[in-house]
A and B are shown apart, each in its own frame.
With several copies, the nearest count.
Chain A
Amino acid sequence: MAELIGGVGTSHVPAIGAAVDHGKTQDPYWKPVFDGMQAARDWVARTRPDVCIVVYNDHASCFSLELTPTFALGVASHYEPHDEGYGPRPVPRVEGAPELSWHLAESLILDEFDITIASQMTVDHGLTVPLSVLFGQPESWPCRVIPLCVNVIQYPPPTGQRCLKLGQAIRRAVESFPGDLRVAVIGTGGLSHQLQGERAGLINAEFDQRWLDEFVTEPDKAAAHDHVELLREAGSEGLECVMWLVMRGALQPEVEVVHRFYHVPASNTAYGLLVLEDAARASRPLAAQPA
């Protein structure tokens, strides 16, 4: 049976990808951000997930206005990085995990989630930047990836509650997969930022920190902020933090914080990073985890 080994929340700011790609991670502007990532990199190196389910949004890259799936789950054998106008990011091709993907798709749909099944898709910075955050610049990504693309561009995105429930259903689905896989869920996006309008540049660190507190200890409360409140407090693009809640739902109600980091700014965004394990798992002696 597959095992849910933990979750990561991280912003997916494109500028972070650019900093990695152009060797600027040690520039004074970026060093604090990348220093803050180290503990997450250590965690993922230690826990070595076989598959990461990356919950992200597409930014008018692979999807366009013709068709807007609320939840699109990738079932492909691989995903090419999308050209977002600067040429595709110089990162490895993303290798899929079609058996587990199809198992998720089938389980989730029978569990009353109205998933869109994506057999061919490209992935943009929303997915590849979190991989760079966790893995740096390897020759090939050290794990297989299942993209779960959430609409947060076209109003309305799914509610926080719906995202939390989807995470719970993903947990059930992973644990019913008849394969010996270690699976992590990566929630991406946010935290507070607004790219558009006269409020462009909005950051609300107070709201973010309070929301992160709730996220860890009272996920139902973190999920209960409605869209208007998120738009108001976290900014029109900060609303994408609902995607973290899919990760949170996949973990048990009681979690242990392995790492928490928050930094303003990363480009126009409040950068947040959180690594969680189920409390039950975290309290196991380290020897019980793979070295």
Chain B
Amino acid sequence: MNPTPRDYHDIPGTYVFDGAHQRKGYWLNMFCKSLDLAANRERFRAAPADYLAGFPMTDAQRDAVLLRDWLGLLRLGGNIYYTFKLAIFDGLSMQHVGAAMSGTGMTVDDFRQMMVSGGRPAEGMRSRRENREACHG
């Protein structure tokens, strides 16, 4: 499915889990969901690639899992509530993953500090179009 453009594609750094995204990431997310079971977590820990081979995912998705490419996982159809199960598996917090997804080399401490200081401001993060216009205007 070639996703038709949607208004929300204009929002920067945001991966809306719509139908197109769900179809793309279905088995990636279902792999993550499978980690709910302790037995599956053990199998995945023992032989990550073998375990992943049991899910009809793309190679890019498998690589993103193995590399813990948190942003890549979203781009490949992941949903944060599912990919976060992989973070829990690794013993990571949501702030850890949040820092990693920021894509700016932020550390988890930077991220925590940003939150305590009022969070990431919406200014400049609302619209790709507006940002472009502001740049070139």
- Are these two chains actual partners, yes or no? yes
Instruction: List, in ascending order, chain A residues with CB within 8 A of B88's CB.
Output: 84-86
* CB <8 Å contact, A59 and B81: yes
**CB-CB under 8 A for A155 and B18, given A196-B80, A227-B8:** yes
Chain A 203-220: CB-based contact to B (< 8 A → 1; otherwise 0): 111010000000000000
Chain B 94-131: CB-based contact to A (< 8 A → 1; otherwise 0): 11011101111000000100111011111001110000
**CB-CB under 8 A for A268 and B125, given A65-B30, A198-B13, A231-B11:** no
**How distant is the Cα of A203 from the Cα of B111 in the complex, in angstroms?**
13
A199 at the interface (CB under 8 A from B): yes
B47 at the interface (CB under 8 A from A): no
Instruction: List, in ascending order, chain A residues with CB within 8 A of B118's CB.
Output: 203, 205, 264-265
Q: How many residues of B contact A (CB 8 A)?
A: 55
* CB <8 Å contact, A265 and B23: no
**How distant is the Cα of A182 from the Cα of B36 in the complex, in angstroms?**
37
**How distant is the Cα of A119 from the Cα of B22 in the complex, in angstroms?**
10
* B4-42, CB < 8 A from A: 4, 7-8, 11-23, 26, 29-30, 32-33, 35-36
* CB <8 Å contact, B71 and A197: yes
* A103-119, CB < 8 A from B: 103, 105-106, 119
* CB <8 Å contact, B4 and A178: yes
A279 at the interface (CB under 8 A from B): no
Q: Nearest chain-B residue to A270 (Cβ)?
A: B119
B120 touches which of A105, A119, A201 (Cβ 8 Å)? A201
B89 at the interface (CB under 8 A from A): yes
* CB <8 Å contact, B30 and A64: yes
* CB <8 Å contact, A207 and B122: yes
Q: Nearest chain-A residue to B100 (Cβ)?
A: A200
Q: Nearest chain-A residue to B101 (Cβ)?
A: A200
**CB-CB under 8 A for A155 and B16, given A195-B94, A201-B119:** yes
Instruction: List, in ascending order, chain A residues with CB within 8 A of B104's CB.
Output: 198
Instruction: List, in ascending order, chain B residues with CB within 8 A of A237's CB.
Output: 80
**How distant is the Cα of A207 from the Cα of B103 in the complex, in angstroms?**
25
**How distant is the Cα of A84 from the Cα of B35 in the complex, in angstroms?**
10
* CB <8 Å contact, A153 and B17: yes
Shortest distance from the beta carbon of B4 to any chain A beta carbon, whole Å: 7
Shortest distance from the beta carbon of A279 to any chain B beta carbon, whole Å: 32
* CB <8 Å contact, A204 and B122: yes
B68 at the interface (CB under 8 A from A): no
**How distant is the Cα of A118 from the Cα of B127 in the complex, in angstroms?**
32
Shortest distance from the beta carbon of A97 to any chain B beta carbon, whole Å: 11
Shortest distance from the beta carbon of A76 to any chain B beta carbon, whole Å: 10
* CB <8 Å contact, A201 and B114: yes
**How distant is the Cα of A113 from the Cα of B48 in the complex, in angstroms?**
42
Shortest distance from the beta carbon of B34 to any chain A beta carbon, whole Å: 10
* CB <8 Å contact, A228 and B7: yes
* CB <8 Å contact, A268 and B8: no
A-B contacts, 27 of them at CB < 8 A, read A59-B81, A60-B33, A60-B82, A64-B33, A65-B33, A85-B35, A86-B88, A153-B81, A154-B18, A155-B18, A196-B14, A196-B101, A198-B102, A199-B13, A200-B102, A202-B125, A203-B121, A205-B119, A231-B8, A231-B16, A232-B11, A233-B122, A235-B14, A265-B118, A267-B94, A267-B95, A267-B115
Besides A60-B81, A64-B33, 18 more A-B contacts (Cβ < 8 Å) are A60-B33, A65-B26, A83-B36, A84-B88, A101-B19, A103-B19, A194-B120, A197-B71, A198-B71, A198-B101, A199-B13, A200-B99, A202-B119, A232-B122, A233-B122, A233-B126, A265-B115, A265-B118
A residues with a Cβ closer than 8 A to B are 59-60, 64-65, 75, 83-86, 98-99, 101-103, 105-106, 119, 153-156, 178, 192-205, 207, 227-228, 231-233, 235-237, 264-265, 267-268, 270
B residues with a Cβ closer than 8 A to A are 1, 4, 7-8, 11-23, 26, 29-30, 32-33, 35-36, 71, 74, 79-82, 84-85, 88-89, 94-95, 97-99, 101-104, 111, 114-116, 118-122, 125-127
